[in-house]
Structure 1
Amino acid sequence: MLLHVVGLALLLTTPDEAGRLATGTAIGVGLTAYTLGLRHAFDADHIAAIDNTTRKLMSDGRPTISVGFWFSLGHSTVVLGLVVLLALGVNAVAGPLANEDSALQQFTGVFGTTVSGLFLYAIAAMNIVLLVSTWRTYRRATSAAGDEILQTTGAPPRGPMSKVFGKPMNAIRTPGQMYPLGVLFGFGFDTATEVGLLVLATTNAVAGVPWYSLLALPILFAAGMSLLDTADGAVMRYAYGWAFAAPARKLGYNLTITGLSVVIALVVGTTQLLAMTGDRFHLAGWPWEFASSIDLNAVGFGIVGLLVIVWVVALATSRRALRRRLAADQVTNRRMRRRVDVET
């Protein structure tokens, strides 16, 4: 809310050449920056990082509701820093930002993509430990009593994999630790380039705007991205929490959604690294060109839709099964009452 209020306030103080405030051009530019933030929140690497971190923190019994917020805030910090430099007249960054072949673009593109891909691999490996633990509990479900299932499902994962990934898993303890990770993701300059070019293209059209009005662009961008990234983290928190509420009855769902999160993280991380490697070394052929052709933003929308569908289907199936159990219990109770009446 604060980002929305501050960004809108700065935008509405933008004067035009005649001294009037908030011209149509300025408002249009601000809305464009806000829309870019909304769009970028659905990038597949954002979704995979937020969803997998939420799953990991929930398994540790830690708060997760702000995972998406801190991640998007860190990502937006890079964009804000670039626009501050441009607003203060540091034009040395303007050329490299506008030129995709510049050394700055090449370095940051490799750095940001590598950080993103490796983190997705790491968080997927951590969740594989949880997946194995859930699978073992699922297999015991046919022979264990309900109470025993509840106890074993809530227990921390054990075994060789948990020993290998124990320290990395314990490294992520709070949602606030997603902020520096978001900063590192932001150095990929995929979104920073869009906003930087937006500022450069519109400064001449909105001539004479003060530097503080230009800051409305990255702040509105951050407002849009944090809104949807926070919403994604909240949705996944409730999606995972629904399984945690009654693990004995929802082991299959828990197994499915955790497995999907792991697969998504591995696929998105691999796609990013393949596309970056192919572009950096000018490689031709199926894996490199195929990875480069994938629109990760569209993939992000698909991931969110898929996870929500799985949750809704599981919820509907669970409610249907509950109604059937209640109906069966009612039939059993009626039969018992009749028997009691007959015996009486």
Structure 2
Amino acid sequence: MTGLDLFAVALGVRHGVDPDHLAAVDGLSRVRPSPYNGILFALGHGGVVTLLAFPAALLLKGVDLEALHLPTFLLLLVGGLNLYRLLRPEERAPARLPLLHPLLLGVLFGLGFETASQLSALALSAELSPLRLGLLFTLGMLLVDGVDGLLASRLQNLARDSERAKRASRFLGWAVVAVAFLLAAAELSALDLEALALPLGLGLFGLLVSLRLYALRPA
């Protein structure tokens, strides 16, 4: 791999650790548990990035997709459903909503043009073929979001038989609700949280790993 190849992968990793990605993937795991949530989310998002990297797709730069606030409303949906599950754990949330399919959710997040890292990845298309750019960028996201989805799903499975894991799952649920609503409120109020995005994302990922380890400890 060339230096630009590695840079494309690194941008994908950086994009995958954004808190809105992790909140969406972790939140999905409470509503529709599956070890493939993170993988499908990253593939959907990466597919959009790949298409947007082609020169013909640059025409979309004249369309103000950010004005649609797609990721914002999707975060509100995921956060709201997680809040519903936390307050009424005996009832099942509507997991079969089409918007809750991780592949479609990843596509819609990708259409939001929501981070500077995605725009940086598109700029690389002048040096790399669009297909190669998209594959490498998606690979980087898969490394983070795929692992995140797998860990979150396993934590939910452990919560079925372990009181310790159930407490960890609820704590993660409240963290997802808080992060999802915080990011949505910041976006709707035009508050720039870009400087906090990386530490917030790393903190959420670290919290998931810590809760997973806590759940695996013997009682």
Q: TM-score, normalised by structure 1?
A: 0.57
Q: How do 1:302-341 and structure 2 match up within 5 A?
A: 302-316=203-217, 319=218, 322=219
Provide the C-alpha distance between the structure 2 equivalents of 1:49 and 1:264, rounded to a whole number of angstroms: 10
- Report whether the alignment pairs 1:262 with 2:195: no
- Report whether the alignment pairs 1:127 with 2:82: yes
Q: Which AA in structure 2 matches 1:53?
A: L
Q: How do 1:74-153 and structure 2 match up within 5 A?
A: 74-83=44-53, 85-86=54-55, 90=56, 93=58, 103-104=62-63, 107-111=64-68, 114-134=69-89
- Report whether the alignment pairs 1:187 with 2:111: yes
More contact order relative to length (CA 8 Å, sep ≥ 6): 2
Provide the C-alpha distance between the structure 1 equivalents of 2:134 and 2:196, rounded to a whole number of angstroms: 23
Gaps of 5+ in 2: none
| 3-state SS of 1:30 partner | helix
Structure 1 stretches of at least 4 aligned residues deviating more than 6 Å after TM superposition: none
- How far off its partner does 1:262 sit? 1.9
Gaps of 5+ in 1: 1-7, 9-26, 59-63, 98-102, 135-155, 204-212, 279-287, 323-344
- Report whether the alignment pairs 1:171 with 2:97: yes
The structure-2 alpha-carbon separation of the partners of 1:253 and 1:214, relative to structure 1 and needing over 3 Å to count, comes to closer
Q: How do 1:156-305 and structure 2 match up within 5 A?
A: 156-157=90-91, 168-171=94-97, 177-189=101-113, 190=115, 191-200=117-126, 202=127, 213-247=129-163, 250-274=165-189, 278=190, 288=191, 291-292=192-193, 294-305=195-206
- Report whether the alignment pairs 1:56 with 2:31: yes
What is the count of residue pairs matched by the alignment? Answer: 217
| Residue 44 of structure 1, aligned match among 14, 19, 24 | 19
CA RMSD of aligned residues (A): 2.6
- How far off its partner does 1:273 sit? 2.7
Q: Deviations over 1:135-163 (max 9, x none)?
A: xxxxxxxxxxxxxxxxxxxxx41xxxx7x
Q: Which AA in structure 2 matches 1:257?
A: L
Q: 1:153: which partner in 2?
A: none
Q: Contact 2:158 / 2:166 at 8 angstroms: preserved in 1?
A: no
Provide the C-alpha distance between the structure 2 equivalents of 1:214 and 1:119, rounded to a whole number of angstroms: 27
* Structure with larger Rg: 1
Q: Contact 2:36 / 2:146 at 8 angstroms: preserved in 1?
A: yes
